[in-house]
Structure 1
Amino acid sequence: MIAEVTRELRAEARRTNERRVLVLAGGRDRGVDAAYDAVESLGVDDEAVSLVSTREGFRFDETRPRNADELLGRTREAVVLDCHERFVPNALGRAVGAVDGGGLLILLTPALDEWPATRDRFDESLAVPPYGRDDVTGRFRERLVETLRTHPGIGIVALGDGGAADVLERDGLTGADGGDAENRGADTAASHGAPPDAAFPATAYESCLTGDQARALRAFETLTEPGSAVVVESDRGRGKSSAAGLAAGALALGGDDVLVTAPAFRNAAEVFARARELIESEADEGDDEIGGDDGRELRTAAGGRVRFLTPAAAADVAGEVDAVIVDEAAALPVRLLEAFLDAPAVAFCTTVHGYEGAGRGFAVRFHERLLDSSFAVRDVRLDEPIRYARDDPVEAWAARALLLDARPAVDAAVADATVEAATCRRLPTEDLLADETLLSEAFGLLVAAHYRTEPNDLARLLDAPNLVARALLVEGRVVAVALLAREGGLDAETRRRMYEGERVRGNMVPDVLTSQLRDESAAEPRGLRTVRIATHHALRDAGFGSRLLDEVHAEFGAEGGETDPVDYFSVGYGATPRLLRFWGRAGYGTVHLSTTRNDASGEHSAVMLRPETAAGRDLLDRHAVAFRDRERDGLSDAHRGVDPDVIRGALRACPAPVPVDLTETEWRSVVGASFGPGMYDTAPGAFRDLALAALIEGPEGDDDPLSEREERLLVEKVLQGRPSEAVAADLGFVSTGACLRALGDAYVPLVERYGTEFARGERERFMNE
């Protein structure tokens, strides 16, 4: 029966240029055998099949679930996803995206009625201490099973055990006859022809399969001019990589040196395939061989070339080529994407929905930086599918099952919302499962506002026992949402293991304070960390985020009536001046700033605490003091290159007072540099203490004695110890001398504020001269 069901699904998929899903539900061993039967019946080469499983030894291309992003940029006639030992939602998204039109996704699952209650190794990752695996709910799989049983295009076979017969629950056939299947999903763009003034060969435009692709290719023509940037966005299967390959080939035919990069070469295989086809079609008889044996470099008779380098290697030479094309850009960390801005011309190709690779750092953060750069940016969106029909039921199923198309409420629905009209609502899993609109809008806000939201996060939202969610609603529409994680409250043995180096899942702040900052008791108080907080983009800076935080503080704090109130609130995030101000105003104090940049955000991560009880206050106080003391020396070492405005914000939010206890000799140096002919470098430690005090303690009353420029000067020259020439250039001083004179002037109000009687006497000597 397995072979027959598979052939029928495959036949309909091919007639319609759509995809189909076959679920083989039952025991694992029986499922593997059934999967072999299904693949055998397809009559396809083993090279066209991928299997994602924790097991090894299959004859097909194998991928582990945790490494399923290896499927990015690849197309397969069949993908088998083993969901038994470790079912990873991210892997399901990758597997769906790799199946070509006319192909099958084969899922090996436990019996569907039993699957939601079955715990596996992925569930163990959700069971963060002090919770156990039995505390994981299984609601994500409950919802997934419901979609499998109700959505078109999905066949289900309940596999018999112990010799029992297999049972066909659903045949998965939609009854579609296919019509003109060859053109469904590809309204060939050849009829558009090349534009009259096209810079690329007509053959390139004739190779486009949709009008969207032709428009993208037209945008790529701007890469012939330095200072141009192109952003191509699409869902999977829209042909963005093909368009990029045609553009790369056309640029090389014109003599350009084109560098292509992606998370791995396999992700860029389509780019090189299309570039090679175009170059070969334009080559004259007798031209030299266009590529090497590995296919990672193509050459043209005009002296151009298309070559692949890994992202790190490509970043090092981006300024030495004519153009860079970055495929699967959302899978790369922001810090690498920034390096490609050194190229004369650059293109970024990225997937909009599907959460490719590491997340959505490109769409959320990097795109804004690109628009602020000196590049002239051209944006292109591809909507018409190429690899399968536009009405493909599997695409619609995956979008619903994994919320790949989750979006916030439309702007018009919330445009008139006010903070006063908002109501705070708890978002228990039962409510989210019962209301798809509520779930989609809440999760859509998290997706739209954060650079690292994946299908795994949907499972965490629905199943993880340590997570809770709260939202602000106006007239039933979600305008702000917060995802919160309970942390700490760990027993002495767990704290000991953490202190000795063992990683404890899901306790980010206690782990940092314990393992990195060496505080064995830090994981004893109970905390509530804001994992994500997002406000609808149409309502930014209107106070909704602050209002939601106020509601969270009131509910979970000691006076909120909770049976298990927290000792402190916390947050960890990629530090920017704007976010540091937001969290500082919300009562959070800085206790840590990472010494390295986060790979995904490209920023240094800050950890901040807001105390609620005496235990929380003690935790904040001792770590704020430790942060203050670390930064006194660390700013000239590990943090020397950090944005001075990030340092200003982090120090201003640190609640540890700075003792200023200078010797008379040190005061002579400071007062001399401020009011007389003294030099900064005669007592750098004294200048450092005063700078730290001024930046941490801030203004007295309503008046700030220092301007923003003077504060940056204190950070860069005094605390970070940057060369005077570099500081002068960065802050716009006409000369190094002017910079150092301004430094002395900046200390005048600090002498007034912190000076001893001796210091004031020294000042009077110069004032009276």
Structure 2
Amino acid sequence: MTLGRVAAALREEARATDERRLLVLTGDATATREAAADALDAADVDAPEVTYVGESADTPWERVPQARAGDLLGTTHAALVLDCHEECRPNAIGRAVGAVDGGGLLVLCVPPLGSWPERRDAFDETLAVPPFDVADVAGNFRTRLVELLRAHPGIAIVDVGDGTADPSVERDGLTDPAPRVPPDPPTAPEDPAFPVDVYDRCLTDDQVAAVEALEALDEPGNAVVVEADRGRGKSSAAGLAAGALALGGRDVLVTAPQYRGAAEVFARAREVLADADALAGDPDEDDPERLEATDDAGGRVRFERPATAAELPDGPDAVVVDEAAALPVRLLERFLDTPAAAFTTTVHGYEGAGRGFSVRFRDRLYESDLAVRDVSMTDPIRYAAGDPVEVWAFRALLLDAGPAVDPLVADAGADTAAATGTDGDPDSVAYRAFDAADLVADEHLLREVFGLLVAAHYQTEPDDLARLLDAPNVAVRALTYEGHVVSVALLAREGALPTDLRAHMYEGGRVRGNMIPDVLTSQLRDERAAVPEGLRVLRIATHHAVRSRGLGSRLLSEVRAEFADDVDWLGTGYGATPELLRFWQGNGFSTVHLSTTRNESSGEYSAVMLAPTSDAGRDLAERHGRWFADRVGAMLSDPLADMDPDVVRAALRSADVAPALDLSEWEWRLLVGMTGGAGIFDTSPRPLRRLTVRYLVDAGDGGDAEALLNPRQERLLVRKALQTHTWEAVADDLGFHSLGQCMRALGEAVRPLLSRFGDANVEAELERFE
């Protein structure tokens, strides 16, 4: 069977079943690209219908680099060629699969399958964190990938060699499926608020249900969440609803990471308006990012990029956030102020920011003033249910991996949480080290480990699966209960860098991985910071059924015991929240740095924390703890002026080194004067700033300072003394009835601090002042 016949037969079967097929071309890079062109020509796919994802520019097709595979979101293609010769990014595989339409072909151009796992490419270089070399990177991810390519139906494999001999067909990929019975057409709901013509454009009952739920956007105070895997028509449903809303006179603002991703929303909205003869202007000449209804209808659908859309320009009646999971949580939160909002998001795609929407944003949406309605779409639209390429991608990338089911782990760690009243065996939770070979050999174990990381962490994505299996600096440690994973930590070695790399970093160069040494060296100007060796906790996750039982803390304790004699420090860096800061502090970690920009994924400012395990580690932690305490006051008055005051409180309580107050006699007198008239603060903010930092750091030690002030008083000190907000802003933020009440409250908060930190002279001054 020739390559042309294989490709033509695959395409014919794909069209007959409305499924996709996968054609794997192995061999020389140039030969596989040429074979891909021949195969698609034989399969009757025209070049304009093909997109090439890879680095080579010598192709007749539109090209998207693998690093920009996110541009494929929201697009569909009759055929897509993914070239994995120069690099094989798991994220690119997932996004390429999702962009192929039913009846289409995904073509993989890859090296010979037998040697591919041993080859090293540009993606492997990203896993080779110094001091490791690319030769230290394992090939477990691609070994598993090759096995699944050879095992799953709907996948043809053709060896084209170097192009000088006839291709050799290893598998034809044909499944010979039974004839499909066409599904019944969907039924419009009874008495719909949107025109019936809108529902006539729906292709599945799922899509009808989604559009009907989106009718709620016609009234303020509502939010709708539409979740689905790729290819279920959620963007089309949002577009049909947007068009219907515009037809009813509503102003609909649409946003997405890029307009290209929201093009389907506008295509469907345009159809709705055109069907009703209510589309103003010439669609061929008008701005594609803006649809105006006729004067009779009076509505519109317009696009803005996320940062602009979050400002809610021109006061829209409703906002549609398409591919919401690709936006930072902090940005998503700003859409909660809109009158009505819809969020469409991919369930298993790890798009953009991964699981930030599911893990963090959902809770904040439910806590908002919006009434939330959830809709799930399961019926595929772009291709038929049971599509073999989707099944393969889900398994290869573990897109549907999840933790163990609740009943299997319900009693885990009960001994560490006696207050729950649950029985449990303290010896039944075991600490285990999993190397990549363990995980590759046990698919069930791999799915539980990775599934737990997916469920708990918004940033987990397919690239992390390769990192877990292949990166030489990454280790996996877990707690198991009766063989099931209940808590897992992903650990990365950092530091112990040679002199030349430390100098390179100090002079502004970037070094892969080594996040904590990099921050401490390049940003904080400490060339010695990369000398000690450390272990950074990349991820830590505990099964939701057994949280609050101390299992995460127990896992960290076990990690510390195992590695205490092997590394100088344990560390972590993450988007800081009060809860996370308290967790890490409770496990012996102290704050040494706060980022001055927000994390793109979490929308939070990041914290870097250390827990030393050797003299060298203690020297590093104490040095940076001291520097942090000295500089944090200035940071909070400028780049961190908008940081949540509760994050500030928790970050300072988590610091280990209390700053010297270093106040003159005159500055102490100023502080005493503030107890009777806080306006004195404006004449010299420095003494109260230093006193506030000292108090909050001391309070974290559990000493006498801990109970001096209540949380509202601490927030007042943070907002005014550290972040230097105006009196009006502070009074409004903290709910004071007047400026005078706010100023008096500041003076009252200063009084106990003077007694705690002042000397006999300060006490005498207080008595005299009073």
Same fold (TM > 0.5): yes
Which residue is equivalent to 1:229? 223
Distance, in Å, in 2 between the alignment partners of 1:63 and 1:358 is 20
Partner of 2:420: none
What is the rounded CA distance, in whole Å, between the counterparts of 1:295 and 1:745 in structure 2?
59
Matched, 1:736 2:739: yes
Unaligned runs of 5+ in 2: 417-425
- Counterparts of residues 134-213 of structure 1 (less than 5 Å): 134-161=135-162, 163-180=164-181, 182-183=182-183, 187-189=184-186, 192-196=187-191, 198-213=192-207
Q: Give the Cα–Cα distance (whole angstroms) in 1 for the partners of residues 529 and 198 of structure 2.
A: 61
Residues 156 and 255 (structure 1), Cα distance of their counterparts in 2 relative to 1, 3 Å cut? same
The reply on whether 1:545 has 2:552 as its aligned counterpart is yes
3-state SS, counterpart of residue 747 of structure 1: helix
Q: What is the one-letter code of the residue matched to 1:273?
A: A
What secondary structure, in the 3-state scheme, does the structure 2 residue paired with 1:149 have?
helix
Q: Which residue of 1 aligns with 2:352?
A: 357
Query: 1:244 deviation in Å?
Result: 0.6
In structure 1, the partner of 2:448 is 441
- Quick one: which of 353, 374, 377 aligns to 1:379? 374
Answer yes or no: is the 8 Å Cα contact 1:157–1:168 preserved in 2: yes
Alignment match, 2:243: 249
C-alpha deviation, 1:690, in angstroms: 1.4
Q: What amino acid maps onto 1:293 in structure 2?
A: D
Residue 58 of structure 1 and its aligned partner are, at CA, apart by: 1.8
How far apart, CA to CA, are the structure 2 residues paired with 1:252 and 1:314? 18
**Separation (CA, whole Å) in 2 of partners of 1:445 and 1:739:** 46
State the shift of 1:402 in Å. 0.5
Relative to structure 2, which stretch is displaced further, 700-709 or 505-514?
700-709
For residues 598-651 of structure 1, what are the alpha-carbon distances to aligned partners after superposition, in whole Å with 9 as ceiling and x for unaligned? 111100000000111111011011111111111122211111111111111111
Q: Deviations over 1:471-515 (max 9, x none)?
A: 111111111110000000000110000101110001100000011
Letter aligned with residue 681 of structure 1:
D
Which residue pairs with 1:262 in the alignment? 256
Name the SS for the 2:230 alignment partner.
Answer: coil
3-state SS, counterpart of residue 161 of structure 2: coil
**Structure 2 residue aligned with 1:296:** 289
C-alpha contact 2:28 2:163 (8 A) present in aligned 1: no
Residues 356-389 of structure 1 show CA distances to partners (whole Å, capped at 9, x for unaligned) of: 1232222221222111111111111111111111
CA distance in 1 between counterparts of 2:352 and 2:706 reads: 48
In the superposition, relative to structure 1, how do residues 644 and 676 fare at CA in structure 2: closer, same or farther (>3 Å)? closer
- Contact map agreement 2:486 2:543 (CA 8 A) in 1: yes
- One-letter amino acid of the counterpart of residue 140, structure 2: R
TM-score (norm 2): 0.95
CA pair 287-717 structure 1, distance change in 2 beyond 3 A: closer
Instruction: Report the Cα distance in structure 1 between the residues aligned to 2:7 and 2:92, rounded to whole angstroms.
Output: 22
Residue 219 of structure 1 aligns with an amino acid whose one-letter code is: A
1:276, CA displacement in angstroms?
A: 1.4
1:317-396 equivalences in 2 (<5 Å) = 317-318=312-313, 320-396=315-391
Amino acid at match of 2:723: Q
Deviation by residue 1:92-112 (Cα, 9 ceiling, x = unmatched)? 111111111111111111110
Between the aligned partners of 1:89 and 1:491, the Cα distance in structure 2 is: 31
Distance 1:664 1:523 in 2: 41
Decide whether aligned partners of structure 1 residues 627 and 677 sit closer, same or farther in structure 2, where only a CA change above 3 A counts: closer
* Aligned match of 2:460: 453
In 1, distance between residues paired with 2:763 and 2:270? 77
Please tell me whether the aligned partners of residues 154 and 172 of structure 1 are also in contact (alpha carbons under 8 angstroms): yes
Identity %: 58
**How far apart are the structure 1 equivalents of 2:656 and 2:281?**
69
For residues 443 and 739 of structure 1, what CA distance do their matches in structure 2 show? 50
1:69-84 maps to which residues of 2 (within 5 A)?
69-84=70-85
Aligned to 1:488: 495
Partner of residue 608, structure 2: 607
CA distance in 2, matches of 1:153, 1:88: 22
Q: Say whether the 8 Å CA contact 1:318–1:340 is kept in structure 2.
A: no
Secondary structure class of the residue paired with 1:147: helix
What amino acid sits opposite 1:665 in the alignment? W
User: In the alignment, which residue of structure 2 is the partner of 1:477?
Assistant: 484
Aligned 8 A contact 1:334 1:602 in 2: yes
Contact 1:480 1:544 in 2 (8 A): yes
- Aligned residues of 2:679 and 2:743 also touching (Cα < 8 A): no
Task: State the one-letter code of the partner of 2:726.
Answer: P
2:301 equivalent in structure 1: 306
Residue in 1 that maps onto 2:421? none
Matches within 5 A, 1:571-720: 571-674=572-675, 679-698=680-699, 700-701=703-704, 704-720=707-723
- On the 8 A contact 1:208/1:243 being kept in 2, the answer is yes
| 2:407 counterpart (397, 412, 415) | 412
Cross-structure match for 2:423: none
Alpha-carbon distance change, 664 to 179 in structure 1, aligned in 2, over 3 angstroms: closer
Q: CA RMSD of the aligned region, Å? A: 1.7
Match in the other structure for 1:562: none
Q: What does residue range 52-131 of structure 1 map to in structure 2 within 5 Å?
A: 52-131=53-132
Q: 2:529 aligns with which of 522, 526, 546?
A: 522
Cα 1:628/1:35, change in 2 over 3 Å: same
Distance 1:278 1:743, change over 3 A: same
Report the CA distance between 1:462 and its aligned residue.
0.3
Against the structure 1 CA distance between its residues 293 and 742, is the aligned structure 2 distance closer, same or farther, given a 3 Å change threshold?
A: closer
Q: Which amino acid aligns with 2:385?
A: R
- Structure 2 equivalent of residue 751 of structure 1: 754
CA contact (8 A) 1:263 1:332 kept: yes
Secondary structure, in 3 states, of the residue corresponding to 2:169? Answer: strand
Once the 2 structures are TM-superposed, how far is the Cα of residue 416 of structure 1 from its aligned partner?
2.4
Matched-pair contact (CA < 8 Å) for 2:534–2:570:
yes
**Local SS of the residue matching 2:301:** strand
Distance, in Å, in 1 between the alignment partners of 2:524 and 2:251 is 48
CA distance in 2, matches of 1:85, 1:154: 22
Residue in structure 2 matched with residue 561 of structure 1 by the alignment: none
User: Hey, what does 2:13 align to over in structure 1?
Assistant: 12
* AA at the equivalent of 1:745: E
Task: Measure the CA separation in 2 of the matches of 1:702 and 1:664.
Answer: 22
Residues in 2 aligned to 1:165 and 1:677: alpha-carbon distance in whole angstroms: 87
Structure 1 residues 541-578: Cα deviation after superposition (integer angstroms, max 9, x where no partner) = 221111111111111112xxxxxx01000000000000
Q: Quote the Cα distance in structure 1 between the aligned partners of 2:552 and 2:716.
A: 32
Per mean C-alpha deviation after superposition, the further-off stretch among 55-64 and 127-136 is 55-64
Measured at CA, do residues 701 and 664 of structure 1 come closer, stay the same or move farther in structure 2, by a change above 3 Å? closer
Give the drift of 1:292. Answer: 4.3
Spell out, residue by residue over 1:408-430, the C-alpha distance to the aligned partner (whole angstroms, 9 max, x if none).
11222222222533111111111
Q: Using the alignment, how far apart are the partners of 1:556 and 1:208 within structure 2?
A: 58
**Shift, 1:460, TM fit:** 0.4
Q: Deviations over 1:263-292 (max 9, x none)?
A: 1122112111111112111227x9754674
Q: Does 1:401 align with 2:396?
A: yes
Contact 2:25–2:32 under 8 Å retained in 1: yes
Q: Distance in 1 between matches of 2:217 and 2:622?
A: 54
Whole-Å separation in 2 of the counterparts to 1:199 and 1:292 = 32
- Report the 3-state secondary structure (helix = DSSP H, G, I; strand = E; otherwise coil) of the residue aligned with 1:236: coil
Provide the C-alpha distance between the structure 2 equivalents of 1:424 and 1:318, rounded to a whole number of angstroms. 53
